[in-house]
Homo-oligomer: A and B are copies of this chain.
């Protein structure tokens, strides 16, 4: 794996393409996905019933169903038994992304240090953007989240983590960049699923929370001042400070490469 994560590139000319028998259900999946990509099928709209699809595609129901199961597992449609309107086209969700990232993380395809580097990248960029683009309302949200964190320091790791979540989410929203927002959310989730219990059971948990709170306040101050570069720097150091100790020393070079000026 990982030899060539980005596949779809123009063939370089000579040589043959590997062939693979394309199964019927795959063509159905393709057709539906393309129709969605072209905007002919929009979220909320319905697909014809399975039996109707059988007629339209000219296959058996088993084949249509295999296609629907694939689409369903990819979060593209949802079938409900008895619904006379047929399978529903779903709006995009991050469920599939999260699932795949978890899978990779569990399979050692994605180390903690890689995830943290990504998180630092995403978060610091979000902060840079938020510092410039945030509205007053969004600033108020961040204030509220920080306040929540303050009270949560004494309330244990669970509530602190929740408040922390709200803060980062508010910033991601303020960045105005859906891609960054989504990726940041997914990566954050994955990181937490890997080490949240280690953090929760740290002996000096409260001290860590206080320190993290301080960092967050610093970040927020920079955002309020509209100082993007400073907000980015502060968030980088905040994450490094909070998580670096969980990364094997040999792999910390990558994290530190992001801190250099």
Q: Which residues of A contact B (CB under 8 A)?
A: 1-2, 5-10, 12, 21, 25, 29, 37, 39, 62, 65-66, 69-70, 73-74, 81, 91-101, 103-110, 114-115, 117-118, 121-122, 125, 128-129, 131-133, 158, 161-162, 165, 169, 172, 176-189, 228-229, 253-254, 257-258, 260-261
Number of this chain's copies in the assembly equals 2
Are B254 and A177 in contact (CB-based, < 8 A)?
yes
A contacts with B: majority SS = helix
Are B6 and A188 in contact (CB-based, < 8 A)?
yes
Are A254 and B181 in contact (CB-based, < 8 A)?
no
Give the docked Cα–Cα distance between A34 and B12 (Å). Answer: 39
Q: Which among B66, B69, B187, B260 is the interface contact of A179 at CB below 8 angstroms?
A: B187
Measured CB to CB, the nearest residue on chain B to A43 is B1
Chain B nearest CB from A35 CB (Å) reads 13
Are B179 and A110 in contact (CB-based, < 8 A)?
yes
Are A133 and B257 in contact (CB-based, < 8 A)?
yes
Chain B nearest CB from A116 CB (Å) reads 10
Are A115 and B179 in contact (CB-based, < 8 A)?
yes
Task: Provide the residues of chain B in CB contact with A9, threshold 8 Å.
Answer: 162, 165, 189
Give the docked Cα–Cα distance between A184 and B95 (Å). Answer: 20
Are A182 and B129 in contact (CB-based, < 8 A)?
no
Shortest Cβ-Cβ A-B pairs, 5 listed: A6-B185, A92-B107, A5-B94, A5-B182, A96-B100
Task: Provide the residues of chain B in CB contact with A100, threshold 8 Å.
Answer: 74, 96-97, 99-100
Given A98-B8, A229-B261, A91-B128 contact (CB < 8 Å): no
